[in-house]
């Protein structure tokens, strides 16, 4: 069993340098943060350590720089927002393990917080070479006495600041990661029933593992988004210019047959909103799902389907939703996603929004985070867990020799 945050703090962190891997990968327009959800989710663990007197050194990434500094991916705006949220200035290092990082960390007082520049500015962070990753992890370890893994959005990655660092320092699982894993266990090990899974998004290939693993666990599976057209095609329908993964039709057909055999209700839309081209709101119109015009493409589930899906969610005791029902960024194609979100807010049982586009959609459509039971900070990590995969950043805390060492 890995060390948890409370146990680490009980060992005494006052005056100790604690490196916290957070997920601060937020969307930016220039230097303006458009959704600070991940920063807000990281605050409790950081504050708990700071309140206990630790010198907190936060590491994180932003975007996908190519292993070298790139100003557009600087974490400087994030440092400012993090400071606002914790109510104290956050010192910012302009490099990852260089002179600035060492100077900033050395200057920290007990209970103070620093953020290092984007760890992906160092090629060792994401390297496929074990030695290169380990070298960078050791450099990071030189800045700390202990490590706390609290970036759930990256625990499915075998990266230096996620995996290798836990092999070097005494390590613990942060509160955010522990909370995410607890919720995912409830979805996979002992869900209260009825259990409804709602899957959307563009590609069915992104969700194959989840469908395969949850089909036997769920009572109902509601399908929307671009992935729905591969299902409709598998049923023999024409889908016009809609997104279609021809190579997945036989797989999808197998899921339809399996759902029928085991008695799982798999719902597909009976109507869809189509347009003449992607994002062309003026040409938006509703057509039957089995009569999509050859020149059109589907961009949302239709109102009849949205009503049926909302009805299917009534009385659910467990709901997992990952992926919007349509192109929610455009008002003409957002109503299916809005209807699902609205229906989920009325569910009295456990409701889990699977991060990524789903979380962005509910916020853009005006819903508050507290209208849902749990909003995951890691869409990819959530999906891999629900597929039954091992998450390297979680598994290493169990196996690392440093995990049960004292700081």
Active site residues: 38, 203, 356, 380
Which residue pairs from 226-233 have beta carbons closer than 8 angstroms and sit at least 24 positions apart in sequence? 226/201, 226/202, 226/298, 227/199, 227/200, 227/201, 227/202, 227/203, 227/323, 228/200, 228/268, 228/269, 228/272, 228/298, 228/301, 229/298, 230/204, 231/204, 231/256, 231/268, 232/268, 232/289, 232/290, 232/292
Q: Does the annotation list 357 as a binding residue?
A: yes
Q: Does the annotation list 258 as a binding residue?
A: no
Q: Does the annotation list 363 as a binding residue?
A: no
Q: Does the annotation list 120 as a binding residue?
A: yes
Query: DSSP letters along 126-181, please?
Result: T-S-HHHHHHHHHHHHTT-SEEEE--GGGTTS--TTTTGGGGTS-EEE-HHHHHHH
The two three-digit tokens of residue 370, written as one number: 């507290």
The two three-digit tokens of residue 369, written as one number: 């985070």
Q: Does the annotation list 206 as a binding residue?
A: no
Which residues lie across from 274 on neighbouring strands? Answer: 285, 298
Q: Does the annotation list 24 as a binding residue?
A: yes
Q: Distances from the Cα of 106 to the Cαs of 49, 145, 270, 406, in angstroms?
A: 17, 13, 62, 22
Q: Does the annotation list 68 as a binding residue?
A: no
Q: Does the annotation list 156 as a binding residue?
A: no
Residue in this structure with the two tokens 């959307």, named with its chain if needed: 200
Q: Does the annotation list 174 as a binding residue?
A: no
Q: Does the annotation list 366 as a binding residue?
A: no
Q: Does the annotation list 389 as a binding residue?
A: no
The two three-digit tokens of residue 194, written as one number: 């009825």
Q: Does the annotation list 128 as a binding residue?
A: no
Q: Does the annotation list 388 as a binding residue?
A: no
Q: Does the annotation list 30 as a binding residue?
A: no
Beta-carbon contacts of 184 under 8 Å, excluding residues fewer than 6 positions away, are: 382, 385, 386
Q: Which residues are annotated as a binding site for (2R)-3-phosphoglycerate?
A: 38, 120, 157
Q: Which residues are annotated as a binding site for ATP?
A: 207, 298, 329, 355-358
Q: Which residues are annotated as a binding site?
A: 23-25, 38, 61-64, 120, 157, 207, 298, 329, 355-358
Q: Which residues are annotated as a binding site for substrate?
A: 23-25, 38, 61-64, 120, 157
């Amino acid at each position: 069993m890995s060390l948890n945050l409370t146990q680490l703090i009980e060992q005494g962190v006052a005056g100790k340098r604690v490196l916290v891997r957070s997920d601060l990968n937020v969307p930016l327009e220039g230097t303006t943060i458009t959704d600070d959800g991940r920063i807000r989710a990281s605050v409790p663990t950081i504050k708990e350590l700071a309140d206990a007197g630790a010198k907190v050194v936060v590491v994180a990434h932003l975007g996908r720089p190519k292993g070298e500094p790139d100003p557009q991916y600087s974490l400087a705006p994030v440092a400012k927002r993090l400071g606002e949220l914790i109510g104290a200035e956050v010192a910012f290092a302009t490099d990852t393990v260089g002179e600035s990082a060492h100077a900033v960390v050395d200057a920290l007082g007990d209970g103070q917080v620093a953020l290092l520049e984007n760890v992906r500015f160092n090629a060792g962070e994401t390297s496929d070479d074990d030695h290169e990753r380990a070298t960078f992890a050791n450099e990071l370890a030189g800045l700390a006495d202990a490590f706390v893994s609290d970036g759930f959005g990256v625990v499915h990655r075998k990266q230096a600041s996620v995996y290798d660092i836990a092999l070097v320092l005494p390590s613990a699982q942060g509160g955010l990661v522990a909370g995410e894993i607890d919720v995912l266990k409830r979805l996979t090990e002992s869900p209260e029933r009825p259990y409804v899974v709602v899957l959307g998004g563009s590609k069915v290939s992104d969700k194959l593992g989840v469908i395969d693993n949850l089909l036997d666990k769920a009572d109902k599976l509601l399908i929307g988004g671009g992935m729905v057209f591969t299902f409709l095609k598998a049923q023999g329908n024409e889908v016009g210019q809609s997104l279609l993964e021809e190579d997945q039709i036989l797989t999808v057909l197998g899921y339809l047959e399996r759902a029928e055999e085991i008695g799982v209700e798999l719902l597909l839309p009976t109507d869809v909103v189509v347009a003449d081209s992607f994002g062309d709101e003026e040409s938006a119109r509703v057509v039957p799902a089995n009569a999509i015009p050859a020149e059109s493409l589907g961009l949302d589930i239709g109102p009849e389907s949205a009503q049926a899906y909302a009805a299917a969610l009534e009385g659910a005791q467990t709901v997992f939703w990952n992926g919007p029902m349509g192109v929610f960024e455009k008002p003409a194609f957002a109503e299916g996603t809005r209807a699902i979100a609205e229906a989920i807010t009325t569910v009295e049982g456990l409701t889990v929004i699977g991060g990524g586009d789903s979380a962005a959609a509910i916020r853009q459509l005006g819903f508050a985070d507290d209208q849902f039971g749990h909003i995951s900070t890691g869409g990819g990590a959530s999906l891999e867990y629900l597929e039954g995969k091992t998450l390297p950043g979680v598994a290493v805390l169990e196996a690392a020799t440093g995990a049960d060492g004292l700081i």
